Chain A
Amino acid sequence: MTTGFSVTVRDLNVRYGRTSAVQDATFDLEPGGIYGLLGRNGSGKTTVMSTIASLRPASGGEVRVDGEDPFENERVMAGVCLVREAGDISPDIKVRANLDYFAHTWPTWDADYADELVDVFELDRKKAPRHLSRGQRSALGAVVGLASGAPLTMFDEVHLGMDAPTRYAFYDALLADVIDHPRTVILSSHLISEVEKLFDGVVILDRGSVLLAEEADRLRGRGATFTGEREAVDALTADLTVLATRELGRVREATVYGEIDAATTAKAHAADIAIGAVGLQDLFVHLTRKEST
């Protein structure tokens, strides 16, 4: 039984002409995990995924998929599926014919499952994708990624245009599928609060650089809000990394990043400062807003 491909990215640089899209990116993904690749528009998410899928050459550094260089590597590439927003779906041939084509792309393709998913997402088999709505085209991409069974499956902004029920149907199908067929999944998304609990790990890109690569639970534990009397909050957070503050009358809420030790927790309690959780979405917004050049 396969458990998915590992991914190793070391000092990756990608340039488009004179423009640098990715600089010195380094991270590791364990086989069988679900990973979030998060970043603002233009942060390099699509470039990183395209390079892993060897659709784009690295200008420097290296990428290893299942321990090997994926470039012109048939064995590895037969196990990699990248579902791009732009899509590798042919817009003019019927949904059914598109799926038949993909059946020949991956040896792990599950045609029955693809068929089932087409019904789940209520796609018309007889329509050409260009006559589908944006959300339906995204759903077709989701079908391809799920049914590919590829040991490394990447979904680049696959949620775009999907309405909420369709997105949740996708998350449910993804979970059910990785439980039955463990494999490595990379999901890039802006809707972090919807997907953050699905992740084993998270890689945050900011302007082409890896801001952090971390276990999701550990990252979540790094964020906290301190809410209390202004001076008391300032005193307590003086030595912490404060990402943002908000004033609510005489009360200040400081969002901090870093390990919160027991001593700090005790001091907060003594000073009547409430400690709250920060979701990944908020952490992401605060971390990527900071200047990091």
Chain B
Amino acid sequence: MHPFEYLRPRDLAAAVGESATGNYLAGGMTLLPSMKLRLTSPEKLIDLSGLPDLVGIQADSAAVVIGAMTRHAEVAASAEVRRLIPALAALAGGIGDPLVRNRGTLGGSLATNDPAADYPGALLGLGGTVVTDRREIAGDEFITGMFSTALEPGELIVRVKFPVARRAAYVKFPSPASRYAMVGVFVAETATGVRVAVTGAAACAFRLTAFEAALQKAFAVESLEGLGVSGDGYNQDLHGSAEYRASLVPVMARRAVAAALAR
């Protein structure tokens, strides 16, 4: 790791004020390993753990609002999230491993936007909204590419709003080593229609409109009969080819619909 200056500001404005020359540090589950490998070398780390306003879960019958610094383990264990959006609690409970879930945060995961991360699937699948220090960004606009988002330089995620879905489920095929999603599919029947989001398969999470249209007619596993994806531009790596990931997408989608109906 290259040397850096370390700051732990006590208020949001101070944190954002330092951001021109620094990187935010949330849970550190991606940033610290990247720094150890010298893939990234920030001059200054702005530790967000001194900002209690960024932690916590608030819920009503319409939406679950989760602070950016809320750890995955807290989301997974939250009685309110489990009751209102059980698919979101289950997703958080399947990220990485328990040790990662005890440190990793919602805001950190979304700001990093790893192509194989789980939370981007929930953001798109539930039609969530990212609230930053300066504006609200719809989930559909937030995710822009591999490791890239609509966040401006220095823009800080404060919390994320997830609308309560009528029913929803997330099913992933995890890499047996890292638990990252080879392919994960989030299916939700929401107030504004059915949403199907895929993570892990391509450069970033995306929606499957053909699957959504089929499920809009009838929310049933049979509705997905015969539907597939081409796999053009999908990820290929030592864990699997683009074709393999493409073959997983309809399978995970059917399992997610079955799981949503079983809830």
The answer to whether A and B assemble together is: no
Q: Which residues of B contact A (CB under 8 A)?
A: none
